[in-house]
């Protein structure tokens, strides 16, 4: 498969359901795309304004200020100590890195990229762009010999699956056994809701309890889009194995992949301010507390979803039938088939809608 063989953009198929839902007398409740609706924190906007005299080209490697902030954040919020500037690299959003990582690592025809069965589609797109082969597998024991890159996603999009320390340790051991780079997409790690994840300490693949005393062949990918409402800033980063990060830096320099200087300063400020992150998490918690019981009352079963930005739900029938039912209520969600062929009866509901839209959706679901 190559980039020329990619299917049409999947969300185009949702347009008729959007149009029907938008015709509801009470207006559209859009719970489909996970795009933040809440304001960017004032402390971050002020930092961006203070850095607008950006007359020189920014550095692909990132400013000293930003790299130090990333290292400090990993230690303070993720329990990962000892990162040095050579271990971190800013990226232009996390989707760009996910899509380009196989190419930047030099993968090509005949190489295998593994990703979860219920997965953000860009993992497979990235393999296709490089000309590599995408394989789905959730159990590390299923990862094929000779695999070059493995993606895990914790908490998962769309299903909210969290990899615990023991699971991550087994994944690291298997990746090292087969000689694969293990890339962990951890963009929702601040959003833990239930059970042992309610304290928000969702482990990173770089956690010393997981990685031991070596970060070799391990990468952690993170974004500020959700925890800081910076989706429009395209503010993300990768951290981990210094040798891999060095190679990524070299190739990104050649491609001119550099984060704008004002955004780099705003990111550094955002990473140093925990208060706005805690405030945003509570907004999402409140919305989840309204939407989850309403979905259950309407006959949906919630699977996994103990963390992350979504509720992964099923009413035991084809996702497109559920989409049609929801559209009649003025609600738009995401069909599970967008996240893998084995998810034909699931629907993804996003918690990013405004409070009034979440409340309206919950009222309609209870009355359905």
CATH 3.40.640.10 in the chain is located at 44-273
Q: For residue 123, what pLDDT is reported?
A: 97
Cα 75–234–148 angle (5° rounding)?
A: 70
Strands 347-350 and 310-314: antiparallel
Q: Give the domain 44-273 fold.
A: 3.40.640
Question: What pLDDT sits at residue 200?
Answer: 67
Classify the C-alpha dihedral 15-321-364-156 as positive or negative. Answer: negative
Convert 310-325 to b/e letters by CB count within 10 Å (16 or more is b).
bbbbbbeeebbebbeb
Instruction: Reply yes or no: is the peptide bond before residue 94 cis, omega within 30 of 0.
Output: no
pLDDT for res 341: 86
Q: How many CB atoms lie within 10 A of CB 289?
A: 12
pTM: 0.94
Rg (CA), the chain: 20
Per-residue pLDDT at 116: 97
CATH 3.90.1150.10 in the chain, residue ranges: 3-39+276-367
Alpha-carbon torsion (25, 26, 31, 37), positive or negative: positive
| pLDDT for position 347 | 97
Query: Please, which residues bridge with residue 222 across strands?
Result: 237
Q: Is residue 334 within a helix (H) or strand (E), and if so which, with residue range?
A: strand 334-335
Instruction: Kindly state the tokens that stand for 325.
Output: 């039912």
What fold does the segment set 3-39+276-367 form as a domain? 3.90.1150
pLDDT of residue 222: 98
CA distance 305 to 316: 17
Q: Which residue bears the tokens 């963009």?
A: 187
pLDDT in tens, the chain (368 residues): 556 666 667 778 889 999 999 999 999 999 998 899 999 999 999 999 999 999 999 999 999 999 999 999 999 999 999 999 999 999 999 999 999 999 999 999 999 999 999 999 999 999 999 999 999 999 999 999 999 999 999 999 999 999 999 999 999 999 999 999 999 999 999 999 998 888 768 999 999 999 999 999 999 999 999 999 999 999 999 999 999 999 999 999 999 999 999 999 999 999 999 999 999 999 999 999 999 999 999 999 999 999 999 999 999 999 999 999 999 999 999 999 999 988 999 999 999 999 999 999 999 999 97
């Amino acid at each position: 498969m190559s980039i020329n063989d990619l299917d049409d953009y999947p969300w185009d198929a949702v347009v008729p359901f959007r149009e029907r839902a938008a015709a509801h007398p009470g207006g559209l409740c859009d719970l489909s795309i996970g795009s933040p609706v809440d304001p960017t924190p004032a402390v971050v906007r002020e930092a961006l304004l203070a850095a607008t005299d950006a007359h020189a080209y920014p550095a692909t490697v990132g400013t000293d200020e930003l790299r130090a902030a990333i290292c400090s954040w990993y230690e303070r919020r993720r329990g990962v100590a000892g990162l040095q500037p050579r271990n971190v690299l800013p990226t232009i959003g996390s989707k760009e890195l996910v899509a380009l990582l196989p190419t930047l690592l030099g993968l090509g025809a005949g190489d295998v990229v593994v990703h979860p069965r219920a997965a953000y589609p860009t993992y497979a797109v990235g393999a296709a762009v490089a000309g590599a082969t995408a394989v789905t597998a959730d159990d590390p024991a299923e990862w094929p010999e000779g695999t070059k890159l493995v993606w895990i996603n914790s908490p998962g999009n769309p299903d909210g699956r969290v990899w615990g320390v023991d699971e991550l340790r087994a994944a690291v051991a298997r990746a090292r056994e087969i000689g694969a780079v293990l890339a962990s997409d951890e963009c929702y790690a601040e959003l833990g809701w239930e059970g042992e994840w309610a304290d928000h300490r969702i482990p990173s693949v770089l956690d010393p309890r997981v990685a031991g005393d070596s970060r070799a062949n391990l990468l952690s990918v993170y974004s500020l889009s959700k925890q800081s409402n910076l989706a429009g800033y395209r503010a993300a980063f990768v951290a981990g194995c210094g040798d891999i990060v060095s190679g990524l830096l070299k190739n990104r320099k050649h491609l001119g992949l550099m984060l704008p200087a004002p955004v780099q300063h705003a990111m550094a400020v955002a990473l140093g301010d925990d208060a706005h992150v805690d405030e945003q998490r509570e907004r999402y918690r409140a919305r989840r507390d309204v939407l989850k019981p309403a979905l259950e009352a309407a006959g949906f079963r919630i699977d996994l979803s103990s963390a992350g930005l979504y509720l992964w739900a099923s009413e035991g029938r084809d996702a497109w039938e559920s989409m049609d039912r929801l559209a009649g209520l003025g609600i738009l969600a995401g069909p599970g088939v967008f996240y893998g062929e084995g998810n034909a009866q699931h629907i993804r509901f996003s918690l990013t809608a405004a409070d009034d839209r979440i409340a309206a959706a919950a009222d309609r679901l209870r009355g359905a």
